[in-house]
Amino acid sequence: MSGLAEKFNDYIHYLKPIPLPAKCIVMSDAHAGNGDMHDPLRGSGFENLILDILREYHGKGYTLLKNGDWWDVWRGHDVALISAAHFHLWEIARAYGCMGRLYETLGNHERDCFNYPEALIFEGFGKKIFMWHGAIGDWPNDEGWRVGRFAIRSADQLTGMGIKVDPQTSPHPTNPERHEAVRSMAHNLVVQYPDWDFLWGHTHYFDNDGNNHNSGAPISISEYRGYLIEEGNIIPIRRT
């Protein structure tokens, strides 16, 4: 895996920093599909928990930082089907957006259907924050994303036929090797840029290590783990 450091160096030169809102909630990897048997969020039982959290912080005036793979187009295939199957989740995200309190990055499972930016930079309250989904440099989910999508869809077809497949193509992947590889890339950025904070997701492992912050995934860890950002302070939160 390579490429994250190179892209970061490009981004800090041409991405215009966004003023960091005073109050933010960070969430990634909801993986809302089209409501069928392969829909990761439908099978997790955690959609109501996510909705409760989002409604609470919307009411409190927070800005939502949606860090990729909310909508699982690789599995759901069709955005209209996804928005119908998860209407309330779609609408609460839209509600943040209508208030001007929504920033989004592109997840690998959203490629080819959404035009979200790959990364964002926030500055304010003495903080500089780089936010990206986490797939940069992870070849089957970055440059080779079409290969990754083909593998996922093929595995879903086989599962539907009752054939056991590689668990890494399941809706609830736990791949410690991938997490450590992406985490290592993020850690190298922390070493090179100690005055920055880094927000990412993708690997479905919650990780809060110094300036390195992965928001995990409710569908995989059976609880909500994420972050609030309040006047530049990044605060981990946990709900079950």
pLDDT at 152: 82
pLDDT at 61: 98
> What is the sign, positive or negative, of the torsion defined by CA atoms of 159, 165, 169, 175?
positive
- The CB density around residue 67, as the number of other CB atoms within 10 Å, is 31
Q: Which residue has the higher pLDDT, 141 or 44?
A: 141
pLDDT at 218: 67
Question: Is 2 among the domain residues?
Answer: no
Question: Is 9 among the domain residues?
Answer: no
pLDDT at 164: 58
Question: Is 230 among the domain residues?
Answer: yes
Question: Is 221 among the domain residues?
Answer: yes
Lowest-pLDDT range of 43-47, 73-77, 125-129, 178-182: 43-47
d(CA 83, CA 155): 23
φ/ψ bin of 126: left (φ > 0), alpha (ψ from -120 to 50), beta (otherwise):
left
Structure tokens belonging to residue 17? 């920093």
pLDDT at 215: 86
pLDDT beyond 90 at 104 = yes
In this prediction, residues 60-86 reach a mean pLDDT of 92
**Contact status, residue 67 vs residue 47, Cβ threshold 8 Å:** no
pLDDT at 219: 65
Mean pLDDT value across the chain: 86
Q: Which residue has the higher pLDDT, 88 or 148?
A: 88
Q: Are strands 102-105 and 224-230 parallel, antiparallel or unpaired?
A: unpaired
Question: Is 181 among the domain residues?
Answer: yes
The domain in which residue 34 lies consists of 19-239
Of 198, 180, 185, the residue nearest 65 (C-alpha):
198
How many domains does the chain contain in total? 1
Task: Report which listed range, 58-72, 185-199, 204-218, is most confident.
Answer: 58-72
pLDDT at 227: 95
pLDDT at 137: 81
**Contact status, residue 67 vs residue 105, Cβ threshold 8 Å:** yes
In this prediction, residues 100-104 reach a mean pLDDT of 98
CA end-to-end distance (rounded Å), the chain? 34
Per-residue pLDDT reduced to its tens digit, 156-206: 777 766 665 554 444 455 677 778 888 888 888 888 999 999 999 888 888
Q: What is the CATH number of the domain that holds 103?
A: 3.60.21.10
Of 79, 81, 87, the residue nearest 111 (C-alpha):
79
Question: Is 13 among the domain residues?
Answer: no
Question: Is 5 among the domain residues?
Answer: no
**Residue length, the chain?**
240
Question: Is 36 among the domain residues?
Answer: yes
Per-residue pLDDT reduced to its tens digit, 105-119: 999 999 988 999 999
d(CA 103, CA 1): 27
